[in-house]
Chain A
Amino acid sequence: IAGITQAPTSQILAAGRRMTLRCTQDMRHNAMYWYRQDLGLGLRLIHYSNTAGTTGKGEVPDGYSVSRANTDDFPLTLASAVPSQTSVYFCASSDGTGDGYTFGSGTRLTVV
């Protein structure tokens, strides 16, 4: 693993199903983030975690939950998927310096 790994790469999901998007980093970054990216809207923050054991809500948290049991992993769960959650999801991490965020390669989710 080098950087951030997201899984799956893409998924088609039936509405009402539960789904967990996985995110793992090996850079020992304290802060981690989940974004969704939709055409014309840019990146919108769903949830974040400043350090292991803590999480916070971003701009669009409804319908999503996260956990941060350790430094490396930050899974995002959709409890009951709806079509409006069709999007590209990016996980990112940061060490809090001016080097910015490192992003995973994204998960393309389609809810039908």
Chain B
Amino acid sequence: GQNIDQPTEMTATEGAIVQINCTYQTSGFNGLFWYQQHAGEAPTFLSYNVLDGLEEKGRFSSFLSRSKGYSYLLLKELQMKDSASYLCAVLDSNYQLIWGAGTKLIIKP
């Protein structure tokens, strides 16, 4: 079966750095996405990795290792508005997105 694993909840302090991990087992791989979802709102696109390595976009970076079936999302200089759920999703061999259950990130002052 196909499986995406990420921690259910994480807590971090404003101004700090947090890393959210995602491991996956899917039938084929055509890229990995990270989405941000604030409570009661729709998911919004953060990043896309299809090759190994680190992609940096402002305060957010995403890393991929295809051989390990592993990705992480790194958030720097945390702000209160970063409190949200972060969803990891893999595009499988049929170009369908397989979603993790999401990681709820709580930012404390």
Contact = CB atoms under 8 A, between A and B. Distances in A.
B101 A103 contact: no
A22 to B, nearest CB: 15
Contact of B95 (A45, A96, A100): A96
B99 A42 contact: yes
Contacts of A106: 41-42
B31 A98 contact: yes
A45 B8 CA distance: 20
Q: Which residue of A33, A42, A101, A104 has the most chain B CB atoms within 10 A of its CB atom?
A: A42
Contact of A100 (B4, B42, B48): B48
A44 B96 CA distance: 11
A1 B7 CA distance: 36
A40 B101 contact: yes
B58 to A, nearest CB: 17
B100 A42 contact: yes
Q: Which residue of B35, B87, B96 has the most chain A CB atoms within 10 A of its CB atom?
A: B96
A interface secondary structure, majority: loop
A103 B42 contact: yes
A90 B42 contact: yes
Contacts of B8: 40
Contact of B45 (A33, A58, A99, A105): A99
A90 B100 CA distance: 16
A2 interface: no
A61 to B, nearest CB: 13
A41 interface: yes
Interface string A79-98: 00000000000100000101
A103 B44 contact: yes
A105 B35 contact: no
Contacts of A43: 43, 87, 89, 99
A48 interface: yes
Given A42-B100, A98-B31, A103-B42, 18 more contacts: A41-B101, A42-B4, A42-B87, A43-B43, A43-B89, A43-B99, A45-B96, A45-B97, A96-B95, A98-B48, A99-B45, A100-B35, A100-B48, A101-B45, A102-B45, A103-B44, A106-B41, A106-B42
